[in-house]
């Protein structure tokens, strides 16, 4: 299904990935775009000119019908989520995102939407396969037998199954991507919902500007992750939506690093070396997680084009500019 000329809805458009996705869809030729988020418009991370922007709570079923009226393609990214600190301490809130996904699928079906994209997460993967920092990259089939991240991961896995059955039972074209740690400018970098790249950039900038050359790291620093830059993410979303891939598929980088190595890179960008204080009681998630990109390379020829260091340089510069503005 080609996105060009389609009337398109982006849910969660006031957030980090959603805001970037709206811009990329507009550049790709979507004829009309409706952008929806629960946040008031003045709190959106980005707003794109020529787009219909609405502040609606999509946990409310009637708002989902309003949002999908006259729409051909839905990109459902709306969710109550954040980094590991938020996920581990707000499991019930994360689970309640099932209301948004249920109501959006029902509204899309009833209003004749032609294509539905759902943003799932690597948090759906079986935790027993992520106990070692030297993790074997996770293949799509590693989500079963099911043992996902408590709360957030269970909700994502359940909603994946809903998409599958809406396609099987109602013929609604559904596509599902499992996002692996997306980062970049115009994202959350403070307040408790930020993810590791943004949090470390903020902490390094604060240490450098204050002269207190210390940094707190959650966990022992040996836990491993891969991080995908936002531009690679939006390109992957487009490709998956337009594809004939009916099952959930990984969308992430396979460039595995430890959290200590992530700090090394940001220190190099900042030109500082910091004393590291490890908080072993803080939320740290699984010990190791990486994306196996075999399937998406074979099916779509997609792989990330932006190295972690290059993406972090752009992210660091943007967060630094935001912090300087707040400091004035």
In 106-201, which ranges are E strands? 115-121, 174-179, 182-183
Q: How many CA atoms, within 13 angstroms, populate the side-chain half-sphere of residue 226?
A: 27
Q: What is the largest CA-CA distance in the chain?
A: 61
Distance CA 22, CA 12 (A): 10
Distance CA 135, CA 252 (A): 15
Question: Exposed/middle/buried for 131, CB within 10 Å: 0-12, 13-18, 19+?
Answer: exposed
Output phi, psi for 266, to 5 deg: -70, -40
User: What's the token pair of residue 116?
Assistant: 């539905």
Q: Which single residue is written with the structure tokens 């290059």?
A: 310
Q: Considering 152, 183, 229, 316, which one is annotated as catalytic?
A: 152
Closest CA to 81 of 49, 122, 32: 122
DSSP class of residue 306 equals S
In the sheet with 7-11, reading across from the earlier edge strand, the strands are 52-55, 32-37, 7-11, 73-76, 115-121, 174-179, 249-251
Annotation says 183 is catalytic: no
Q: Give me the active site residues, please.
A: 152
């Amino acid at each position: 299904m080609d996105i060009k000329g389609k009337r398109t809805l982006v849910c969660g458009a006031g957030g980090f990935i959603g805001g970037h996705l709206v811009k990329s869809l507009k550049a790709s030729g979507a004829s009309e775009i409706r952008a929806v988020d629960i946040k008031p418009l003045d709190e959106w991370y980005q707003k794109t000119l020529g787009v219909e922007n609405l502040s609606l709570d999509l946990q409310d079923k009637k708002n989902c019908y309003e949002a999908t009226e006259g729409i051909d393609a839905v990109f459902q990214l709306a969710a109550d989520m954040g980094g590991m600190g938020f996920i581990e301490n707000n499991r019930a809130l994360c689970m309640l995102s099932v209301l948004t996904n249920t109501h959006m699928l029902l509204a899309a079906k009833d209003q004749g939407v032609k294509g539905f994209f759902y943003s799932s997460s690597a948090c759906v993967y079986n935790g027993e396969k992520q106990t070692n920092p030297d993790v074997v990259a996770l293949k799509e089939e590693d989500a079963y037998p099911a043992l996902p991240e408590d709360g957030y991961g269970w909700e994502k896995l359940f909603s994946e199954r809903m998409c599958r059955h809406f396609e099987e039972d109602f013929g609604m074209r559904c596509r599902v991507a499992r996002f692996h740690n997306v980062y970049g400018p115009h994202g959350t970098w403070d307040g408790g919902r930020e993810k590791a790249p943004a949090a470390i950039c903020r902490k390094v900038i604060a240490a450098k500007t204050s002269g207190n050359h210390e940094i707190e790291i959650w966990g022992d620093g040996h836990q491993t992750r891969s991080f995908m830059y936002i531009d690679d993410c939006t390109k992957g979303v487009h490709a998956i939506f337009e594809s004939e891939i009916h099952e959930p598929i990984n969308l992430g980088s396979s460039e595995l690093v430890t959290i200590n190595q992530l700090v090394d890179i940001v220190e190099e960008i900042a030109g500082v070396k910091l004393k590291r204080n490890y908080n072993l009681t803080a939320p740290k998630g699984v010990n190791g997680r990486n994306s196996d990109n075999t399937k998406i390379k074979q099916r779509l020829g997609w792989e990330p084009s932006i190295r972690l260091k290059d993406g972090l340089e752009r992210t660091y510069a943007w967060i630094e500019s935001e912090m300087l503005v707040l400091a004035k």
